Structure formats: C-alpha cells, structure tokens
Structure 1
Amino acid sequence: MKITGYRSLTTVHDWGRPVGDVNGVVESGLTEVPVLLLETDGGLTGVGLGQHADIARVFPAVEGEDPRAVSSLYDRMLSHVFKSGHAGSTYGAIAAVDMALWDLKAKMANEPLWRTLGARDRFVPGYASGLCYGLTDAAFSDLYERWADLGFTSAKIKGGKDQDRDIRRLLAAREIMSRNTDRPAMMLDVNECWSRKQAVRHIGEIEAHLDLTWIEEPLRRWDAEGHAIVSRSVKTAVATGENLTGLDQFTPLFDARAIDVVQTGSVWGITHFNRVAVAAHAHNLPVSPVGYNANPVAHAAAAVPNMVGIEIQDFGFPLGLSVDQQVIDGGIVLGDRPGLGIEVDEIAIANNRLNGAWSKPEGPHVRPRRAGLGLVPNSRAAAER
C-alpha cells in the first residue's frame, strides 16, 4: 500500500461555554478543528487532527511511501524541511501526517492503535481540565461538578492574573473533587504569563492554602534556567513542554533539571509523544500529554510506562467526528475500532454552518502586551482590564 494524496477539511467543536486562558477567551465557545485525510492506493484513509497549513511543503516526503514505515517517515519529513526549520506551522503539518500514518498502520493491522503501540490496557487515566478562565464562579463550579460525576479525582484550572481568584477556584475545585477522593490532585496552568520572581511569590502564597500538585507553564517555554529556579524554590512540581516542537527543544530543560512533569502537545503527533516519553523516562520523569479534540494521543499514552495522566478538556467531540472512546471513571476508555477510532462524516462537515473562527484577532494564542512583566500579583481591577 502506498500513499497517494491528501485532503483537508475543517470542522468545528462546540464547547457550549466560553473557553480560554489568561491570554484570551473564545466567548462563542466555537473553535475550528482542522482534519487531514491521507489517501492510499489500497482504499484506506488515515485521519490526522490539527492545523497543517504547510502540508503541501511536507507531503512530498511521504508521497508514494508505505505508511507502515511511520517512524522513518517522521524523520524523512524533518529532513525534508531541515534548511528552513521544522517548528511552528511546519511541525503542525508533520504532526498531522504522522498521526494519519499511525492511523493507517493500525488500520492495516485491523486493530486499534493502542494495540499496535503495545498497550496492555485500554483505560487511560486522566485529569479534568475545562479551559475555564472565562467562566463565572457559578459556571466554573457547575463544570467541575460534571467532571466529578464522571469519577475524576484531579483537576487543572486556568489562572495567572488574580491571585485571590486562583486560590478561590482551586479550593472550590478541590472541594468538588473531594467527592471521589480524600486528596484530590490540583493543578494550576498560567500559560507562560509570569516572570521568575512573580512565579515564586505567587506559588508560595497558593501553597499556604492548599497542596498544589503542579504549576504549569509558569514561564516562557524556552527558559530552562528560570524553570530550574522556580522548581527549586517551591514545593509543587513544575510542568511544561506542550509548546515545544521536537525532542531537541526539551534538551535544555533536561540538562538544567528544570522540569518535574514533562508535557507534550497532542497536536504534535504520536511519534513526538513517544520520543519525548522515552527521554523523560530516561530522566526518571513522568510524562503527561496535553489535551486536544478526540484525544488522539491517548492511544500512545496507554503504552508508555511513565504516563501520569492525560489532560481531558471536554465531554464530547467535534462535529462530524465519531470517536470510539468513552470519558468515564476519571479517564478514557479506548475502543476496538481500527486505528485512532475516528470516523469522519464529510457530509455533516460540509453541511455545517457554524463558524469556528474567532471573531476577534486576540485570543488564547496571542500573547498579551504585559504578559511576563509582573513582579507581584495583579489587583482585581488590573486583572480585569
């Protein structure tokens, strides 16, 4: 079987609530979901999720190849673009192709990807994460009550601007999760918005009120020295890595002993997760993939020995995608449908009239002007501006 072509679709995910973080909020709750369909001469189609704007640049590296050689094809794609660099949108395209290749490899074996990758158990433990920054306190509590109803014992909230609000919400989520465990794991994600000193001071204040399991992305993703300073100054673990593209970008963090929980973005594909997970394991560190639509990296997470938990962001799936998995018992139960277990209804996607494009240019992926310039927690009034 050979790879012959590709098609790109865009569907939407309707979250049913505002979603976002300290950098911005999508008030409509509608987000775009790019879908890559990788075609073969054998009648099978591979599915990859995530933006792939550079697909035309990357595709020649895999055209005419056997999709079962997925790990080698990943390196072939990196080699194909090495002169101009593999990060950003280029890496997104590599990741979407990689995901589709793994989907095809498992489909050719007529088994779910978690089996192909060597997992013994179809259950993947997770933690609740509602992208909750834009919610009112009442809506915030209602959301995490739904997670508790599904058996979750750990939760991550979005914060970073208002110290009092962060503490209040962490305590509220802990109380809700206490329905299922005596000691819920609580995490705070500030999406790179702090300076080094602000991180240490803010975390110290939080630790005076509760046992924080990890602080996520306290500083800019490349600041290995800063992450090491924060990690050695606080009790909580430091988690980061979701925005790093390629194993090479993790090396400074490992060398500086700057990271306690190694994260990978699900949008960067299966091979990326596997390689980072092995590197983390060699450093005696746990790995945790960050969530994305349809939880595709859960299949790989089920097969590695140091996976501490996968982020799960919502209860449903994007329009036109049928996904063979269940979110129950505090995690994901993967099904037996071959490959990723994702079936694409192209007619439903074509008939969609919802707009997942953000109505304003600023949003969770646009860094605010004064991010990282604070030394003390902002006042409530300043945080709301």
Structure 2
Amino acid sequence: MKVTGFRSLTTEYDWGRLIGDANGVMPEPRTDVHVLIVETDAGLEGIGVGPHPDVASVFAVVEGEDPRGVSALYDRMLAAVFKTGHAGAVFGTIGVLDMALWDLKAKAAGEPLWRLLGGLDRFVPGYASGLDIALGDDDLVRLYEDFAARGFASGKVKGGRDLDHDLRRLRALRDVLGRNSARPALMFDANESWNRSQAVRYVTELERAVDLTWVEEPVRRWDAAGLASVRRGIRAAVATGENLTGLEQYRPLLDAGAVDIVQVGNVWGITHFLRVAAVAHSLDLPVSPVGAHASPLAHAATAVPNHLTFEVQALTWPAGLRVDQEHQDGGIVLGDEPGLGIRVDEQRIAEIRPPASVPAVGGPHVRPAWAGRRLVPDSPREPF
C-alpha cells in the first residue's frame, strides 16, 4: 500500500453559543473544522482532523510511502523541516498527517485504532469543558447540566479576569456536577493570562472557597521557573503542555518540576502523544489530552498507563462528520469501526458556505496587550 494523494476539506461546527477564554471570545458561534483525507493505491483513505496549512510541502515526505510505517514517517516529516523549524502550524500539519497515517494503519489491519495500539478498555474517562467564559450564569448551568446528564463528575471553567465572577461560576459547576459525585473535580483555566504573582494571589483566593483539582496554564507555556513558582505557591496541581509543539519543549518544564498534569494537544497527532506520555510516565506523572473535534487521541489514551482524564468540549460532531464514539458515564466510549472511526460526508461539507478568509484581530487565539499586566481585576479600561 502506497500513499498517492490527499484532499483538504473545511467544514464547520456550530457550538450554539460563543466560546472563548480570558484572552478573548470568538466573534461567531460557528468555527471552522479542517479535515485532511490521505489517499492510497489500495483504495483506503486516512482521516486527520485539524488545521494543516503546510500540507502541500510536508506531504512530499510521505507520498509514495507505505503509511503503515507511520512512526518512521513521523520522524522523516520532522527531519524535513529541520532548518525552518517545526513549531506552530508546521507541527500541526505534521500532526494531522500523522493522525491520518495511523487511521490508515488501523484500517489496513481491520481494527479500531485503540485496539491496534494495545488498549483493552474502550472507555476513556473524561471531564467537561465548555470554553464557557462568554456565558452568563444561567447558560453556564444549562451547559453543564447536559454534561452531567452524561455522567460527568469533573469539569473545567475558563476565567482569570474577575475573581467574584469566577468564584460564582466554580460554585455553580460544583453544584451541577454534584449530582454525580459528592466531591466533583473542579479545574480552572487561565490560558496564560497571568504573571507569576498574579497567579498565586488569584488562585489562593479561589482556594479559600473551592477545592481546585488543577489550575491550567497559569503563566506562559514556556516559563518553567514561573510555573514551578506557581506550583509551590498553591494547593492545586499545575497543568500545562497543550500548546507545546515538540517533545523537546517539555524537558525544561519537567526538569524544573514545573508541572503536575502533563497535557497534550489533540491536533499535534498520535505519535507525539505517545512519546509525551512515555516521558511523563518515566517521571510518574499523569497525562491528559486537551479536547478537539472527534477526540482522536482518545484511542491512544487507552494504550498508555498514565492517562488521567480527557477533555470533552462538545457532545456532537461537526457538519458532515460522523464519529464512532459515545459520551457516557463521564467519558468517551470508543466504537469498533476500523481506524479512528471517522466518516466524512463530502457532499454535505460541499454544501456549506465557504468561510471568509478574514485574519483574526481578536479572540482567544490572539494574546491581548493587557495579559499579565492588570493591576486590578475590574479595571474599566484595559491597559494598552
């Protein structure tokens, strides 16, 4: 079997609400979802989900190769961008190609990927995460009631700008998830919006009222000394890693004892997750993937000994995708379809109006000028 070509599609997901974090809010309730289909001469097609803007150049590395050699091909893709670097969009492209190659490998074997990777249990424990900073109190409760109805007893809220607001929301989350556990796990995500002293002061105040399981990305993702300082100053665990692009970026954080929960981004691919999980396991640290459409890393999570919990951001699928998964008992139940279990309805996707290519000037993916520089939490005008 040889890789012969690819098709790149863009569909959308309707969240039914605005999503965002402390850095900003998306302008529309619908977001683009990028799908990569890798073709072979055997008629099998591999599916990858996530942005892949550099696919035209990186694809040359795998074209004509047997996709079943996915681990070696992953290293070849990294080697091909040795001089220019593999951070950001390039690493995402490699990750989506890697995802599609693993999908092909499992399809060729006639097995779901979780079983091919050595998993025994198709159930992946998870936690609810609504990307919810734009929601009012009542809407927040309604959102997490949907998760609670699926058995979730753990959840995460976005925040970091208004202490009273965040305390109210954390208490509401505790009450909603309390139907499934006497002590639900509460997580809090600041998305790199604090400096070190802000993080310790803010979390200390939160912890006077609620028991936090972890605080996520309290300071910049690469600030090993800062993350270690925060870790020493609070009771909650420190979680980070979702935005690190490359195994080598974890080493300074691990060497500094700066992280308790090692996170991995779904869009960075299967091989990257497996390698990060192995390094974390060598230090007796748990690993937790962040959410993404179709939860591809859930398959790999079944096969590592230190998986803790999987972020679940939504209970439905993007337009034109059908995924062989269910959300039950507070987690993800994987199906038996070969590969990742993702089916693509290209006709349905073709009917979707193409998105306008307008550069983002704000929102959760654009760091605001005030991040890490706010003196008071309720300033009427952010500093510039």
TM bin, normalised by shorter chain, reads over 0.9
Give deviations 1:191-246, integer Å, cap 9, x for gaps.
Answer: 00000000000010011001100000000000000000000111100000000011
1:278 aligns to what SS in structure 2?
helix
Distance 1:107 1:308 in 2: 27
CA separation of 1:354/1:179 partners in 2, compared to 1, >3 Å: closer, same or farther? farther
1:360 to 1:93, Cα distance in 2 relative to 1, 3 A: closer
Contact 2:188–2:214 under 8 Å retained in 1:
yes
- The TM-score, its normalising length taken from structure 1, stands at 0.97
The correspondence of residues 335-346 of structure 1 with structure 2, limited to 5 A, is 335-346=335-346
1:101 is paired with a residue whose SS is helix
Q: Which residue does the alignment assign to 1:222? A: 222
* Deviating 4+ runs (over 3 angstroms): 354-360, 380-383
1:360 and 1:270, CA in 2 relative to 1: closer, same or farther beyond 3 A? Answer: closer
Kept in 1: contact 2:18–2:28 (CA 8 A): yes
| Partner Cα separation in structure 2 for residue 358 and residue 142 of structure 1 | 32
> Which residue identity lines up with residue 254 of structure 1 in the other structure?
L
Letter in 1 for 2:378: S
Q: Where does residue 309 of structure 1 map in the other structure? A: 309
Q: Who is 2:378 aligned against?
A: 379
Alignment of 1:203-352 (within 5 A): 203-352=203-352
Question: Could you tell me how far apart the structure 2 residues matched to 1:377 and 1:250 are?
Answer: 32
- In structure 2, the CA distance between the partners of 1:382 and 1:353, relative to structure 1 (3 Å rule), is same
1:43 and 2:43 correspond: yes
SS in 2 for 1:85: coil
Q: Distance in 1 between matches of 2:214 and 2:47?
A: 33
Deviates more, 1:256-265 or 1:346-355: 346-355
CA distance in 2 between counterparts of 1:88 and 1:154 reads 30
Q: Are 1:162 and 1:380, in contact at CA under 8 Å, matched by a contact in 2?
A: no
The correspondence of residues 150-189 of structure 1 with structure 2, limited to 5 A, is 150-189=150-189
CA RMSD of aligned residues (A): 1.6
SS in 2 for 1:285: coil
Partner of 1:78: 78
Q: In 1, Cα distance between the equivalents of 2:360 and 2:372?
A: 23
Distance 1:88 1:78, change over 3 A: same
Please report how far the alpha carbon of residue 355 of structure 1 lies from its aligned counterpart in structure 2 after TM superposition: 4.1
Q: 1:359–1:148: structure 2 CA closer, same or farther, 3 Å change rule?
A: farther
Shift of 1:57: 1.5
Identity of aligned residues (%): 59
Structure 1 residue runs of 5 or longer lacking an equivalent are none
Equivalents in 1 of 2:334, 2:146: separation in Å? 20
2:30 and 2:357 map into 1 onto residues whose CA distance is 8
Amino acid of the residue matched to residue 215 of structure 1?
Answer: V
Cα distance in 1, alignment partners of residues 354 and 87 from structure 2: 30
How high is the TM-score relative to the length of structure 2? 0.97
Distance 2:315 2:283 in 1: 33
- Alpha-carbon contact 1:17-1:27 (below 8 Å) kept: no
Q: Which amino acid aligns with 1:378?
A: P
Is the CA contact 1:32–1:356 (under 8 Å) kept in the aligned structure 2?
Answer: no
Distance 1:174 1:354, change over 3 A: farther
| 1:127 partner letter | Y
Q: Which whole-Å CA distance do the structure 2 matches of 1:101 and 1:199 have between them?
A: 40
Larger CA deviation: 120-129 vs 48-57: 48-57
2:27–2:363 contact (8 Å) kept in structure 1: no
Equivalent position amino acid for 1:189 in 2: D
Distance (Å, rounded) in 1 between the aligned partners of 2:93 and 2:234: 37
Q: Which amino acid aligns with 2:88?
A: G
Q: CA deviation at 1:360?
A: 5.6
- 1:99 maps to 99
